[in-house]
Amino acid sequence: MKKIALTLEVLKIISENGNRFTSTTEIHHILERKGIIEEGKAARKRLQRLLNDLKDYGYIESKTDEAKGKIPQEWRINLRQLPYFISYSEKELISLLTLTSFVPEKYRNLPVLKPAFSAIDRLGVMVEETKREKAKESFKSLPIPVERFTHLSEKEVELIFKAIIENKGLVISYEGKAAFEIFPIKIFTYNGVFYLSALKGNDPSKYRTYQLPKLKAIAMTNREIPLFYYRLYKDTFFAFKENPFLMKVELPADYAEGFEKDKLPILYSTQYHIEIEGNKAISYIVGFTGKRFASWLLFDEIINMEPADEKAINIAKEKRLRKKYSNLSYSLKQNREKFREFAKDVKTIIEMKEELTRNLNKLRKF
């Protein structure tokens, strides 16, 4: 019985270090402190024999084949043999519980996430109840009032994720039309709407994005595509082209007030530089042609927009922005041409808002 208890304690100690190795000396010291094993060479030899036996059975593995001189052997759990024999520290468990709070509640029932939440809840019982409760609610994301949301079929989402992870084709119908095969790459969300990026057929030139609520997943196929295409498109989102260019946006200074100089806020996801000049904050950003980007910028209290100047282009070069935006130009002329194209879309959107203003003004009669 004592040997069984010692074996379990040794496995527990080693498992607490996860994938890291634990030395024989460290294991011995922990067992001594717990009163499970005595001091001295005899006890050390007994422990060494036990560790060797566990290694022979394949339950643990050593860093080296044998101890060298005064350097003790180091051990870790062989997860291929004991895939579930692993433990977590309280710090790790609290981190996992906190991680769950970063997932919006409306997404937590997705089939691909349910097993993870179940596993974390099961492990979380080892954390004191109040800490567990607070960790799970320690982060909240407040959606903006215009954020959209679309309902999803849990079974279809599960099938789509399975096809993505197993690198298989998927037969779908879209907007009620005839079924066809795609090779899904990833699901992404934009402004609360879920999209699926995929290759239509196995032609890499036919990259497409589909709105998930308009898509019906029918069956997974046995066909595969090379992982090259996954790596090629994993960071691509919408299929339509938006040409990047450099520009500056002027905002009221209070957008960046109260921050330390080296911790000024990123006001836009494509911002690569920001300055405070008097009563305004100037955000240097990568803009995109097309109404989608223009409509988002107009949410803010923008004072002015300008095309990039030489200074903006030099900063972009220093930041090596072309590594992220491969078709970005550092040409002053090309950036100004794209800015003019962008400005036309801004004017069109403003005209729509002016029409709304006129309609609102009519309400005064009532």
What is the per-residue pLDDT for 364?
Answer: 65
What is the per-residue pLDDT for 249?
Answer: 94
User: Does pTM top 0.75 for this prediction?
Assistant: no
What is the per-residue pLDDT for 315?
Answer: 96
What is the per-residue pLDDT for 141?
Answer: 80
**Distance between CA atoms of residues 277 and 147, nearest Å:** 32
What is the per-residue pLDDT for 87?
Answer: 67
What is the per-residue pLDDT for 210?
Answer: 94
- Catalogue all structural domains in the chain, each as residue range(s) with its CATH number: 2-77 (1.10.10.10), 90-136 (no CATH), 154-233 (2.30.30.60), 244-355 (no CATH)
pLDDT per residue as tens digits for the range 204-224: 678 999 999 999 999 999 998
Mean pLDDT by 10 residues, the chain (366 residues): 80 80 89 84 86 87 70 83 70 87 82 84 83 88 77 86 93 93 92 90 82 93 89 86 91 82 85 89 92 83 92 96 91 95 90 83 69
Q: What angle do CA 240, 245, 246 make, to 5 degrees?
A: 150
